[in-house]
Protein backbone atom coordinates (compact mmCIF):
# COMPACT_ATOMS: atom_id res chain seq x y z
CA UNK A 1 0.00 0.00 0.00
CA UNK A 2 1.46 3.32 -0.94
CA UNK A 3 1.95 5.69 1.91
CA UNK A 4 0.90 9.26 1.59
CA UNK A 5 3.23 12.25 2.07
CA UNK A 6 4.36 13.04 5.68
CA UNK A 7 2.38 15.90 7.11
CA UNK A 8 4.01 17.81 10.06
CA UNK A 9 1.49 18.59 12.75
CA UNK A 10 1.64 21.51 15.23
CA UNK A 11 2.51 19.21 18.16
CA UNK A 12 5.43 17.61 16.36
CA UNK A 13 7.18 20.86 15.45
CA UNK A 14 10.34 21.65 17.59
CA UNK A 15 11.57 24.95 19.04
CA UNK A 16 12.85 27.47 16.62
CA UNK A 17 16.26 29.09 17.07
CA UNK A 18 14.64 32.37 18.13
CA UNK A 19 12.56 30.63 20.80
CA UNK A 20 15.62 28.79 22.13
CA UNK A 21 17.63 32.02 22.37
CA UNK A 22 14.73 33.75 24.08
CA UNK A 23 14.46 30.94 26.66
CA UNK A 24 18.21 31.05 27.32
CA UNK A 25 18.02 34.81 27.82
CA UNK A 26 15.25 34.39 30.40
CA UNK A 27 17.24 31.70 32.23
CA UNK A 28 20.33 33.91 32.26
CA UNK A 29 18.41 36.83 33.74
CA UNK A 30 16.83 34.59 36.37
CA UNK A 31 20.22 33.06 37.25
CA UNK A 32 21.80 36.51 37.54
CA UNK A 33 19.02 37.72 39.82
CA UNK A 34 19.37 34.59 41.98
CA UNK A 35 23.14 35.04 42.18
CA UNK A 36 22.82 38.70 43.19
CA UNK A 37 20.22 37.81 45.83
CA UNK A 38 22.45 35.05 47.26
CA UNK A 39 25.47 37.35 47.23
CA UNK A 40 23.53 40.06 49.09
CA UNK A 41 22.34 37.57 51.68
CA UNK A 42 25.90 36.29 52.23
CA UNK A 43 27.19 39.86 52.54
CA UNK A 44 24.52 40.74 55.09
CA UNK A 45 25.27 37.55 57.01
CA UNK A 46 29.00 38.31 57.01
CA UNK A 47 28.39 41.85 58.30
CA UNK A 48 26.10 40.50 61.03
CA UNK A 49 28.74 37.98 62.11
CA UNK A 50 31.47 40.65 62.19
CA UNK A 51 29.20 43.01 64.15
CA UNK A 52 28.54 40.22 66.64
CA UNK A 53 32.27 39.53 66.97
CA UNK A 54 32.98 43.21 67.60
CA UNK A 55 30.29 43.30 70.28
CA UNK A 56 31.70 40.21 71.98
CA UNK A 57 35.26 41.56 71.77
CA UNK A 58 34.23 44.89 73.30
CA UNK A 59 32.45 43.09 76.13
CA UNK A 60 35.54 40.95 76.78
CA UNK A 61 37.77 44.05 76.72
CA UNK A 62 35.58 45.77 79.30
CA UNK A 63 35.54 42.65 81.46
CA UNK A 64 39.34 42.36 81.32
CA UNK A 65 39.86 46.02 82.30
CA UNK A 66 37.26 45.68 85.07
CA UNK A 67 39.24 42.77 86.55
CA UNK A 68 42.48 44.77 86.45
CA UNK A 69 40.87 47.79 88.12
CA UNK A 70 39.00 45.67 90.67
CA UNK A 71 42.31 44.09 91.66
CA UNK A 72 44.06 47.41 92.43
CA UNK A 73 45.73 47.26 95.86
CA UNK A 74 47.03 49.80 98.42
CA UNK A 75 50.74 50.26 99.07
CA UNK A 76 52.96 50.42 102.14
CA UNK A 77 54.29 53.90 103.03
CA UNK A 78 57.88 52.68 102.63
CA UNK A 79 57.07 51.48 99.08
CA UNK A 80 55.95 54.68 97.34
CA UNK A 81 56.83 53.24 93.95
CA UNK A 82 53.79 50.97 94.10
CA UNK A 83 51.31 53.72 94.95
CA UNK A 84 48.22 54.20 92.82
CA UNK A 85 48.45 57.28 90.60
CA UNK A 86 45.67 58.51 88.37
CA UNK A 87 45.75 61.20 85.70
CA UNK A 88 43.19 62.13 83.07
CA UNK A 89 45.11 60.28 80.34
CA UNK A 90 46.74 57.45 82.28
CA UNK A 91 46.64 55.51 85.53
CA UNK A 92 49.17 53.31 87.25
CA UNK A 93 48.94 50.94 90.17
CA UNK A 94 49.49 47.54 91.68
CA UNK A 95 46.89 44.99 90.56
CA UNK A 96 46.33 41.48 91.88
CA UNK A 97 44.59 40.55 88.61
CA UNK A 98 46.97 41.54 85.79
CA UNK A 99 46.38 40.42 82.22
CA UNK A 100 49.82 38.81 81.93
CA UNK A 101 49.38 35.03 81.91
CA UNK A 102 52.74 34.25 83.54
CA UNK A 103 52.28 36.44 86.59
CA UNK A 104 51.30 34.61 89.74
CA UNK A 105 50.88 37.64 91.98
CA UNK A 106 50.40 41.43 92.04
CA UNK A 107 51.91 43.39 89.21
CA UNK A 108 52.51 47.07 88.50
CA UNK A 109 50.44 47.96 85.45
CA UNK A 110 49.62 51.06 83.47
CA UNK A 111 46.58 52.00 81.41
CA UNK A 112 47.01 54.96 79.08
CA UNK A 113 45.02 56.64 76.34
CA UNK A 114 46.64 57.28 72.99
CA UNK A 115 45.27 59.34 70.12
CA UNK A 116 44.80 57.31 66.96
CA UNK A 117 43.46 57.75 63.46
CA UNK A 118 40.60 60.18 62.82
CA UNK A 119 41.03 61.58 66.32
CA UNK A 120 39.79 58.39 67.96
CA UNK A 121 41.39 57.13 71.14
CA UNK A 122 43.00 53.77 71.95
CA UNK A 123 43.39 52.30 75.43
CA UNK A 124 46.84 50.74 75.91
CA UNK A 125 47.68 48.21 78.64
CA UNK A 126 51.32 47.74 79.66
CA UNK A 127 52.87 45.82 82.60
CA UNK A 128 55.80 47.75 84.02
CA UNK A 129 58.03 44.70 84.53
CA UNK A 130 58.10 43.91 80.80
CA UNK A 131 58.49 45.77 77.53
CA UNK A 132 55.16 44.47 76.25
CA UNK A 133 52.06 46.54 75.65
CA UNK A 134 48.88 45.90 73.72
CA UNK A 135 45.68 47.60 72.73
CA UNK A 136 42.64 46.80 74.85
CA UNK A 137 40.02 49.16 73.45
CA UNK A 138 40.12 50.87 70.06
CA UNK A 139 37.87 53.40 68.36
CA UNK A 140 37.09 55.30 71.56
CA UNK A 141 35.52 58.78 71.14
CA UNK A 142 37.91 61.76 70.98
CA UNK A 143 38.65 63.43 74.29
CA UNK A 144 38.34 60.27 76.38
CA UNK A 145 39.66 60.61 79.94
CA UNK A 146 39.82 58.80 83.28
CA UNK A 147 37.96 59.97 86.38
CA UNK A 148 38.21 58.70 89.99
CA UNK A 149 35.52 58.45 92.67
CA UNK A 150 36.39 59.24 96.29
CA UNK A 151 34.72 58.12 99.51
CA UNK A 152 32.51 61.21 99.26
CA UNK A 153 30.97 59.77 96.04
CA UNK A 154 32.41 62.64 94.00
CA UNK A 155 34.43 62.20 90.81
CA UNK A 156 37.93 63.69 90.54
CA UNK A 157 40.12 64.36 87.51
CA UNK A 158 43.31 63.14 89.23
CA UNK A 159 44.16 60.78 92.10
CA UNK A 160 45.17 61.50 94.80
CA UNK A 161 43.00 64.62 94.48
CA UNK A 162 44.19 68.06 95.55
CA UNK A 163 41.43 68.20 98.15
CA UNK A 164 41.15 65.14 100.44
CA UNK A 165 37.66 63.58 100.16
CA UNK A 166 35.75 63.27 103.42
CA UNK A 167 32.78 61.08 104.31
CA UNK A 168 30.96 63.75 106.32
CA UNK A 169 31.10 65.57 109.61
CA UNK A 170 28.90 63.10 111.52
CA UNK A 171 30.54 60.00 110.06
CA UNK A 172 33.01 58.06 112.19
CA UNK A 173 34.96 57.42 108.99
CA UNK A 174 36.18 61.02 108.99
CA UNK A 175 38.65 60.04 111.73
CA UNK A 176 40.14 57.25 109.63
CA UNK A 177 43.09 57.63 107.31
CA UNK A 178 42.10 58.59 103.78
CA UNK A 179 42.24 55.48 101.55
CA UNK A 180 45.11 55.40 99.10
CA UNK A 181 42.78 54.13 96.37
CA UNK A 182 39.64 55.57 94.81
CA UNK A 183 36.37 53.70 95.17
CA UNK A 184 35.92 53.41 91.40
CA UNK A 185 37.43 54.43 88.07
CA UNK A 186 35.54 55.38 84.94
CA UNK A 187 36.40 56.18 81.34
CA UNK A 188 34.49 59.13 79.97
CA UNK A 189 34.24 61.14 76.75
CA UNK A 190 32.42 64.48 77.08
CA UNK A 191 29.12 63.58 78.79
CA UNK A 192 29.18 59.91 77.76
CA UNK A 193 30.48 57.29 80.22
CA UNK A 194 32.20 54.54 78.24
CA UNK A 195 33.09 52.21 81.08
CA UNK A 196 33.11 52.12 84.90
CA UNK A 197 35.03 49.74 87.17
CA UNK A 198 34.91 49.51 90.96
CA UNK A 199 37.84 48.78 93.26
CA UNK A 200 36.96 46.20 95.89
CA UNK A 201 40.39 45.88 97.53
CA UNK A 202 40.83 49.48 98.68
CA UNK A 203 40.85 48.52 102.40
CA UNK A 204 42.80 45.24 102.37
CA UNK A 205 46.29 44.85 103.77
CA UNK A 206 48.76 45.74 101.01
CA UNK A 207 51.46 43.25 99.98
CA UNK A 208 54.94 43.69 101.41
CA UNK A 209 57.77 43.03 98.95
CA UNK A 210 60.57 43.71 101.45
CA UNK A 211 61.43 40.45 103.26
CA UNK A 212 61.84 41.06 106.96
CA UNK A 213 60.14 44.45 106.95
CA UNK A 214 57.57 44.63 109.72
CA UNK A 215 54.24 46.37 109.82
Taking CA atoms, 138 is separated from 113, 141, 146, 194, in Å, by 10, 9, 15, 12
Q: Which pairs count as long-range contacts for 95-102, CB under 8 Å and 24+ apart, including other chains? A: 95/68, 95/69, 95/71, 96/71, 96/201, 97/67, 97/68, 97/70, 97/71, 98/68, 98/71, 98/127, 99/64, 99/68, 99/125, 99/127, 100/127, 100/130, 100/132
pLDDT attached to residue 215:
37
CA dihedral 144, 88, 109, 117 (to 10 degrees): 30
**Along the chain (215 residues), what's the average pLDDT of each consecutive run of 10 residues?**
53 69 82 76 61 57 86 79 91 87 74 86 86 85 93 91 65 49 91 89 57 40
pLDDT attached to residue 47:
62
The total of other beta-carbon atoms located within 10 Å of residue 11's CB is 5
pLDDT attached to residue 62:
80
pLDDT attached to residue 26:
85
pTM: 0.65
DSSP annotation of 168 reads -
**β-bridge mates for residue 91, sequence order:** 86, 111
**79, 210 contact by CB (below 8 A):** yes
pLDDT attached to residue 22:
77
Q: Which residues contact 193 (CB under 8 A, 6 or more apart)?
A: 186, 187
Give one DSSP letter per residue of 74-85, joined into a string. Answer: ---TT-GGG--E
pLDDT attached to residue 167:
58
Q: Which pairs count as long-range contacts for 172-179, CB under 8 Å and 24+ apart, including other chains? A: 178/151, 179/74, 179/151, 179/203
Amino acid sequence: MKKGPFIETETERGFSLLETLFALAIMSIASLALFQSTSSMLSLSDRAVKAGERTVNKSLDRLAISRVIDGMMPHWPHQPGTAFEGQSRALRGLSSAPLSANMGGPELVMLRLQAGKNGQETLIYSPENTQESWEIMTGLPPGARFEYMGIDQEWYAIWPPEVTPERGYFDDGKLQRTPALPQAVRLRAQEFVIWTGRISQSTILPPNFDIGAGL
